[in-house]
Amino acid sequence: MRTALEIVFWVSAGLIVWTQVGYAAALAALVRVLPPRPPAAERPPLPWLSLIIAAHDEGSVIGATVRNALALDYPRERLELIVACDGCGDDTALRARESGADLVLELPRGGKIRAQDAAVERARGEIVAFSDANALWEPDAARALVGAFADPQVGYACGQVRFVRAGEDAGNQEGVYWRYELAVRALESRLGSITAGNGAIYATRRDAYIVVDPIMGHDLSLPFNMVKRGLRAVYVPGARAREKMVPSLGGEFARKRRMMSHTWPILLRGGMLSPRGYRPGYALMLLSHRVLRYSTPGLHALALAANIALLAIGAGALYAVTLALQLALLLAAALAGVLRARPLLLARYYVLATASPAAGLWDWLRHGTPASWDAAEGTR
């Protein structure tokens, strides 16, 4: 009995440490010893680029986003800007046209993915790029993003989105996590392909674009599907965009919960778990950075339950220490609601971010996941 409980505890704890810290350390070590990939032999002429913005009731921000896109340092004669209005009930389409969009599609409500699909069907570009309706790109972002496709093996590229605080700091520590996530993503890209992208700034070859289930977002479904097709999915840190951060930690939890309700269908029935088409190294990346990360709520629950059971049978002082550490994390997260100290806020962020996959799974299993979406609180 004790041996079994110890195995459950140490395996669960070890997998948590691996996915949160050990994986990144292993990637950093590999990058130091493996030779870098050779750069592309030459830079081809800039291709025709179609930049697609899917929008639902974004009248308050779409004008600024369109003007930002048209001001990019990219030849205007090679840039096509498409706004795909997903069942908008406001003046999004009018404002997009007034701001200079080349094509505005007024579509019935079908969700972001179907709006993007419709825009890709009308796009003329060799490269199709995508932006959120509230994302603002840096002037050189399009050139940097498109530059990744000089490598004929690249089928997908995502840039770097920076979250800026929307007014007064309300305790969201997403920026700390996101900087760590981007560092890991850069290491994955140098070694092969990334395991996920972001919705604010990314692109694919038009002839490599994949139509996915409308509840399965591009952020997670496109990179691994590109790898299955023999292409690379890369991260381009020089292609930068910015978005407003959800101001409150409660709002951030709600955003992550919604995202995770879209993630579980991809994981469990969208093909991610099928090893066909993966090289062993990429399969290990997906396991470490995605599957185990999303399984962390269950791993924490197993570690806590096994720890309590071990103490109940008198396993020793070591398990008193490990239980104290786990309870200290939960206590720190609880105290963050009263004392707004940075370490406590980080603890609360970790606990809520770790709980979000479980909450998202519950939502998906209970009532499914809608294809449509609404803007996160405080990001417009």
Q: Is residue 73 part of a domain?
A: yes
- In this structure, the number of other CB atoms found within 10 A of the CB of residue 211 comes to 11
101 in a structural domain: yes
**β-sheet bridge partners, residue 55:** 85
Q: Model confidence at 340, in pLDDT bands (50, 70, 90)?
A: confident
Q: What is the CATH number of the domain that holds 114?
A: 3.90.550.10
* Domain extent for 122: 49-248
Residue 360 lies in a domain: no
Task: Identify the helix (H) or strand (E) that includes residue 120.
Answer: helix 112-122
pLDDT digits (tens, 9 = 90+) for 274-311: 989 999 999 999 999 999 999 999 999 999 999 999 99
Confidence of residue 337 (pLDDT cuts 50, 70, 90): confident
Write down the pLDDT at residue 170: 52
Residue among 263, 242, 215, 238 nearest 371 (CA):
215
pTM for this prediction:
0.91
> Which candidate, 227, 51, 221, places its Cα nearest to that of 131?
51
pLDDT at 169 over 90: no
Alpha carbon distance 114, 211 (integer Å): 9
Q: Would you say 136 and 172 are in contact if contact means Cβ atoms under 8 Å apart?
A: no
Instruction: Sheet with 154-165: list strands edge to edge.
Output: 103-107, 79-86, 49-55, 127-131, 202-205, 154-165, 232-245, 136-137
| Residues 224/195, Cβ–Cβ less than 8 Å | yes
| pLDDT tens readout for residues 176-229 | 788 999 999 999 999 999 999 999 999 999 999 999 999 988 999 999 999 999
Q: Is residue 115 part of a domain?
A: yes
Residue 75 lies in a domain: yes
């609404």: which residue's tokens?
374
In a domain, 240, yes or no: yes
| 269 CB-near residues (< 8 Å, 6+ apart) | none
CA distance 339 to 327: 17
- Is residue 64 a part of any domain in this protein? yes
More confident residue, 168 or 259: 259
Do the domain assignments include residue 256? no
Structure tokens at 372: 């449509």
Please count the structural domains in the chain: 1
Q: Rounded to the nearest 5°, which phi and psi values hold at 65? A: -65, -40
Q: At what angle do helices 317-335 and 342-367 cross, to 10 degrees?
A: 90
